[in-house]
Amino acid sequence: MIDYSNWPRWRTVASGRVSQVIPEHNAYYDVKCRKRLFEFFSTIFFATVNYVSKTGIQMNLLHNPHHLTVVAPAKVNWYLELLRKRNDGFHQIETFMSTVSLYDTISFAPRGDHELNLKVLQGCTSDAESIPLGPDNLVLRAIESVRARCAGAVAKQGFDIVLHKRIPSAAGLGGASSDAAATIKAINGLLGSPLGAGQLYELAATLGSDVPFFLRGGTAFCEGRGERISPLAAPVGQWIVIAKPPTGLSTPEVYSQVVISQRQRDASEFGLRLKTGKPSLIGDWMHNRLQPFAIPLNDEIKVIQNEFQLLQDAGRCCGHQLSGSGSSYFGLFSTKRLATTATVKLTGRAPGFRYFCCRTTGSYGLGKSDHGATAA
């Protein structure tokens, strides 16, 4: 009989049939090898997750000459101040935003004609029904905008597009804007990169105030109506929990209620705190000037605000507020354990909401903006 007790562990693991190689009386090695296998694959998995968190979530998942799939992340607003109402009807704002590891997936496949065929997949039917499939869809508008700036045959290239929505709509998370930004970069690449970085930023600004931010992602200070981007060198990986009420909010409706405050906060102070990466310092200074105007339009926001406040009173949440114009509400947590525990607790106390436990991500895009901004 072969004595298995002296076999080296690497040979046992490499066999791929641990339970058959090791006899019953040598169960010690059976347990140890299974544990080593689990640790090995866990290390690979978490190393991949950490790499995505540090380098940014928006990247090509599959790219060949006939197919391209990209992901488009959501964002949260750490700080949002309203300075004045402009002559063009927009508001002059200052805001700090970060992309997070909640994202949509978009696939593009070139067609043999000039048609654009969009299909939307969504787990939440109500959100899917609220997404336009015609010319008003930002993904289709982004493709048309890129093609309009091209010459020759590529200007008529058609695509089959599949948009898998995970980011809730009418939530203040920038889902549609992120989809547009991801589409701009993807289509420009599939058409042979006829547009440079500056042209892409100019194009993005015509589609929406948040779209230029999503071309680069990460953390940034945004001015104007949101299209002037200054990247910020802030640590990534902040743990947040996003709560989306059953109903959304219209951004124009929220802004229509705004009364400009005469006592405005200093954005530079928050920028310094955000650079430290310390949740306690960030949470103490979080600010959204739109929040008091959004809450009366949606009673559900007040419900979840109270739940986050209970977590903060218990020392578990560092800060919480509305994201953008809502209706999503989010809280900042110092550790993964606190964030995941809070998600479970909130799910039990306010079961009608959708919850997302995620982290902030790094930049992934075009480098310098057309405004020449560099990392602050």
Give the amino acid at 361.
Answer: T
CA–CA separation, 178 and 132 (whole Å) = 16
Give the amino acid at 143.
Answer: I
Q: At 213, phi and psi to the nearest 5?
A: -60, -40
Catalytically annotated residue among 104, 127, 179, 210: 210
Strands 287-288 and 67-85: parallel
DSSP H/E element including 277: none
210 catalytic residue (yes or no): yes
Residue in the block written with tokens 């020759």: 152
CA–CA separation, 177 and 211 (whole Å) = 5
3 catalytic residue (yes or no): no
DSSP output for 181-223: HHHHHHHHHHTT--S-HHHHHHHHHHH-SSHHHHHHBSEEEEE
314-318, long-range: CB within 8 Å, 24+ apart, which pairs? 316/341, 316/342, 317/283, 317/342, 318/279, 318/280, 318/282, 318/283, 318/284
Catalytically annotated residue among 75, 165, 185, 244: 75
The candidate with the shortest Cα–Cα distance to 181, out of 210, 151, 159, is 210
What's the chain's Rg over C-alpha atoms?
24
- Let me know: does 87 contact 63? Beta carbons within 8 Å: no
Structure tokens at 51: 């790499």
CA–CA separation, 225 and 210 (whole Å) = 8
Structure tokens at 217: 């992602």
DSSP H/E element including 47: helix 27-55
DSSP H/E element including 266: none
- Let me know: does 229 contact 222? Beta carbons within 8 Å: yes
Tell me which residues are annotated as active site.
Answer: 75, 210
